[in-house]
């Protein structure tokens, strides 16, 4: 398989890798390689399979390191292209409190809904009591009028 004119970029949104698609008609997918050095040695992240999309999430990274990647295209016969250009990305160290912090924003919608329902219920209850009082006042007035006649 000949080397194609595709481009490899990193980083995109953290540990996601993405690259331009190979345009060969017999493309089976891609293999991704990683190293801690720009010159290698590189280790295959997908040695037994090919990735069929132009994105890959590298989930096995440690903070405080720069990682280097390249991609190869694989055709339907199993032939692997020459490697892409090497791209790199630094993975920062996450502070312990950030790593274990809970994101409470997901609770916002249910809490607001609960509060609004509570307010609505209280208003309806108050309205019902007011209507009950008004109807009992009307009944009382009617009885008073009967008694006067």
Is residue 115 predicted with pLDDT exceeding 80?
yes
72 and 81 in contact (C-beta within 8 Å)?
yes
- Highest average pLDDT, of 30-39, 57-66, 92-101, 120-129, comes from 30-39
Give the Å distances, CA to CA, from 116 to 90, 104, 111. 45, 19, 9
The residues, any chain, with a CB within 8 Å of residue 5's CB and separated by 6 or more, are: none
pLDDT at residue 41, rounded to an integer: 95
Indicate the CATH number for domain 8-100.
2.60.40.10
Q: What is the pLDDT of residues 18-38, one digit of tens each?
A: 888 888 899 999 999 999 999
Is residue 98 predicted with pLDDT exceeding 70?
no
Q: Which two tokens stand for residue 105?
A: 């924003």
What predicted TM-score, i.e. pTM, was given to this entire model?
0.55
């Amino acid at each position: 398989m000949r080397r194609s004119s595709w481009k490899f970029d990193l980083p995109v949104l953290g540990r996601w890798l993405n690259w331009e698609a190979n345009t060969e008609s017999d493309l089976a997918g891609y293999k991704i390689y990683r190293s801690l050095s720009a010159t290698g040695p590189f280790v295959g992240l997908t040695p037994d399979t090919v990735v069929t999309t132009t994105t890959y999430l590298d989930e096995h990274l440690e903070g405080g390191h720069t990682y280097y990647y390249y991609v190869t295209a694989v055709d339907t016969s199993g032939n692997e292209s020459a490697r892409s250009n090497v791209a790199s990305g630094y993975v920062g160290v996450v502070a312990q409190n950030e790593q274990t912090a809970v994101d409470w924003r997901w609770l916002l919608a249910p809490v607001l809904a609960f509060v609004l329902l509570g307010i609505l219920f209280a208003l309806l209850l108050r309205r019902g009591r007011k209507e009950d009082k008004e109807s009992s006042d009307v009944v009382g007035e009617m009885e008073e009028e009967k008694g006067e006649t």
